[in-house]
Amino acid sequence: MTTSAARDSQFGTLYVVATPIGNLDDISARALAILRHVALIAAEDTRHSARLMQHFGISTPLAACHEHNEREHGGRFLARLQAGEDVALISDAGTPLISDPGFHLVRQVRAAGIAVVPVPGACALIAGLSAAGLPSDRFIFEGFLPAKGAARRARLEQVKEEPRTLIFYEAPHRILECVEDMRAVFGDERQAVLARELTKTFETIRGLPLVELHEWIAADSNQQRGECVVLVSGWQAPEGEDAVSAEALRVLDLLLGELPLKRAAALAAEITGVRKNLLYQVALERQK
């Protein structure tokens, strides 16, 4: 099995293969063919993946490639690839490397001049985004937030004014406190979506302002179970603020740090040429 990247090389190819995030029918025909064909499957958890392989009647040997051994044991897989054998990399669910191991191995393999070929498929963040009804033309994926409250809020503060749709992974036992912190940092009215148990029996996709989403999750313990993606609408500039350039906002913020609001707005208007009244309104919003 070759691709244009792999053809003509005496080396094997590393295939990065996506597996289902719940519904087993989501595995692609190409993924199955590659998993059958390769000499070895590097798996995050061999016992977990053995069940998937058994389900599809695949008998290719599995070898562990997880967070803790990926750097040291990468050489093992590299040696097999250098010997001309094809290897597949899989994780427990979804796309390897996406909040999952594989990055170090892929980097090592590419650095050795060996072809790395993606075999795309399920990915929870993309599945969630595709059905959330939030702007999907531009988004950022923040992965898992820190487990501790203070660090989590500090991370949320960093993306508070991010205009693109925000996507987070979260563990079920932290979902309530996570959404509570989002509410505190982003404000009650920011639109958010909880995408839970995607592709599985109890799939739930619910979009509400953060205040209501938080109350809904708090009131129903079922919403605190299973796997979840949280998507949050990007920050929208208050009325008028989007008409002010980033440079004018920077000047205004600097002056607001030193002067009373009215004086700061007047001086910023003189420096930047933006209307004084507009900057005054923006300054009021920014100091709320």
Binding piece for ligand SAM, criterion CB under 6 A, among 7-15, 153-161, 191-199, 235-243 = 191-199
CA neighbor of 90 nearest in space, from 130, 126, 56, 131: 56
Distances (CA, A) of 92 to 151, 181, 191, 215: 27, 29, 31, 32
Contact 161, 241 (CB under 8 A): no
CA distance 238 to 189: 13
> Residue 76: how many CB atoms within 10 A of its CB?
17
Which listed residue (13, 49, 95, 191) binds ligand SAM by CB under 6 A?
95
CB of 267 to ligand SAM, least distance (A): 47
Which listed residue (156, 192, 229, 231) binds ligand SAM by CB under 6 A?
229
Residue 16 phi/psi, 5-degree rounding, is -100, 105
Binding piece for ligand SAM, criterion CB under 6 A, among 68-76, 175-183, 193-201, 257-265 = 193-201
Residue 202 phi/psi, 5-degree rounding, is -100, 35
Residue 124 binds to ligand SAM (criterion: CB under 6 A): yes
CA distance 51 to 54: 5
Residue 99 binds to ligand SAM (criterion: CB under 6 A): yes
Residue 228 binds to ligand SAM (criterion: CB under 6 A): yes
Token pair of 261 as six digits: 């609001």
Which listed residue (22, 74, 101, 234) binds ligand SAM by CB under 6 A?
22
Contact 77, 87 (CB under 8 A): yes
Residue 93 binds to ligand SAM (criterion: CB under 6 A): yes
Residue 44 binds to ligand SAM (criterion: CB under 6 A): no
CB of 2 to ligand SAM, least distance (A): 26
Choice between 196 and 214, CB closer to ligand SAM: 196
Residue 165 binds to ligand SAM (criterion: CB under 6 A): no
Binding piece for ligand SAM, criterion CB under 6 A, among 197-205, 232-240, 256-264, 274-282 = 197-205
CA distance 170 to 122: 18
Contact 128, 91 (CB under 8 A): no
Which listed residue (91, 108, 165, 233) binds ligand SAM by CB under 6 A?
91
Site for ligand SAM in 100-119 (CB under 6 A): 100
Radius of gyration of the chain (CA): 24
Q: What is the side-by-side order of every strand in the sheet holding 115-119?
A: 62-64, 40-43, 87-90, 13-17, 115-119
Binding piece for ligand SAM, criterion CB under 6 A, among 47-55, 77-85, 164-172, 174-182 = 164-172
Which positions lie near ligand SAM, rule CB under 6 A? 21-22, 91, 93-95, 98-100, 123-125, 169-171, 195-200, 227-229
